[in-house]
Amino acid sequence: MTVLVDPPRWPAHGRLWSHLVSDVSLAELHAFAAAAGIPRRGFEGDHYDVPGERLDDLVAAGAVPVAAGELLRRLVGSGLRVPKQRGQHVLASRLALRRDGEQVHVDLVRADRLPPAATTTAVRGLVVVPGGLLLQARDGRPCALPAVRPGAGLPLGFTRHRPRPVAGRAPADLWRHVALVAAVERDVVPAPGLLAVPADAARAACGEPRWWPLVEVALDGPPAVDPR
CB 161 within 8 A of CB 97: no
CB 143 within 8 A of CB 209: yes
pLDDT tens column, 47-59: 899 999 999 999 9
Q: So what's the pLDDT on residue 219? A: 78
Find the Cα–Cα–Cα–Cα dihedral 41, 46, 48, 52, rounded to 10°.
-150
pLDDT tens column, 58-76: 999 999 999 999 998 888 8
Residue range 174-180: average pLDDT?
A: 90
Q: Which CATH class is domain 88-220?
A: alpha beta
The model carries a pTM of 0.68
pLDDT tens column, 91-137: 887 777 777 777 788 888 888 888 989 999 999 999 988 888 888 88
pLDDT of 216 > 60? The answer is: yes
From its phi and psi, is residue 93 left (phi > 0), alpha (psi between -120 and 50) or beta? beta
pLDDT of 139 > 50? The answer is: yes
**What's the rounded Cα separation, in Å, for the pair 80 and 210?**
19
For the chain, count helices (H), then strands (E): 5, 13
Find the Cα–Cα–Cα–Cα dihedral 195, 127, 189, 225, rounded to 10°.
160
pLDDT band at 221 (very low <50, low <70, confident <90, very high): low
CB 69 within 8 A of CB 57: no
